A and B are shown apart, each in its own frame.
Chain A
């Protein structure tokens, strides 16, 4: 396209520069520099190597928690045989003694 092209001339005429004064740009630059200065200070105190060490430490802790033996969830059968399951024990207590045999059979079925 030639430099004296009427489209180009018209476009340049109506477009104008981006609306940024020196003061506005100076303010923006100061804001960025302040943020950068803070970030560099943090980066200096907490360099990348330290970051990787802490990530590795967190990963090791997470794996350790993952492989730790966990307590088996309480079951109805466990409650009947004197195990620790207060909510289910209460359930058993509200059923009459007549229903005991059925309850035990249901519990064994459910637990299996």
Chain B
């Protein structure tokens, strides 16, 4: 068998196993087992927080969004279709609520990433980096909200196009178009930065 084919088959079987395991966990939650819910929370919390932070640019708001999302999942757990993957269902609720929260916020509070997260630089480099980051932020802010989250999830957080399509309930072609259009806008706005 060709290596690529083997990889695909392995990925599919791993994903089938994951779906079966998560369906079992959801079934246990439906019967009132809080330990099973804890397993799901701990499995997804890092990625959920990352997505929430990308959406809201604020640590506490992102934490609140993650907590709210998991509580909604719990309230709707009886409606979960067993045999379907848990992740996309969770991301869909998280992203929709995050986009709404961002829209309803009159004044966007943003939180700059602390330097220890990015890595310490010499003062002049740090200033330059802050300037570049600010230019990126401003260019990203000019994108439509959905387009922005698509490109951030794919380029920064390692989501696949299929995962993003699932989470946003849009087609793969639409995701591809968002990525293409977002890069075109970013290139236009940030052209002076490259090659400095």
Interface of A with B (CB < 8 Å)? 1, 6-8, 10-20, 24-25, 28-29, 31-33, 35-37, 39-41, 43-44, 48
Contact = CB atoms under 8 A, between A and B. Distances in A.
B46 A25 contact: yes
Interface string B117-133: 11100000000010011
A40 B32 contact: yes
Contact of B42 (A14, A20, A29, A41): A29
A14 B38 CA distance: 34
B71 A39 contact: yes
A2 B52 CA distance: 27
Smallest CB-CB A-B distances: 5 pairs: A18-B53, A37-B34, A16-B118, A14-B133, A18-B50
A44 B136 contact: no
Nearest to B46: A25
B178 interface: no
Most chain B CB atoms below 10 A, which of A19, A29, A32: A32
Interface of B: 29, 32-34, 37-38, 41-42, 45-46, 49-50, 53-54, 59, 62-63, 66-67, 70-71, 74-75, 78, 111, 113-114, 117-119, 129, 132-133, 136, 155-156, 179, 183, 186-187, 190, 193-195
Nearest to A28: B63
A78 to B, nearest CB: 53
Contacts of B32: 40-41, 43-44
A11 B156 contact: yes
Interface secondary structure of A, over-half rule: helix
B61 to A, nearest CB: 12
Given A14-B132, A40-B33, 20 more contacts: A7-B183, A7-B190, A7-B194, A12-B156, A14-B133, A18-B54, A19-B113, A20-B53, A20-B59, A24-B63, A25-B45, A25-B49, A31-B67, A32-B41, A32-B66, A33-B41, A39-B74, A40-B74, A41-B34, A44-B32
A8 B158 CA distance: 13
A36 B156 contact: no
Contact of B155 (A8, A17, A32, A39): A8
Contact of A29 (B29, B38, B190): B38
Contact of B45 (A10, A28, A39): A28
14 contacts: A6-B195, A7-B187, A10-B193, A14-B118, A16-B119, A18-B54, A19-B59, A19-B111, A25-B46, A25-B49, A32-B45, A32-B71, A33-B38, A48-B78
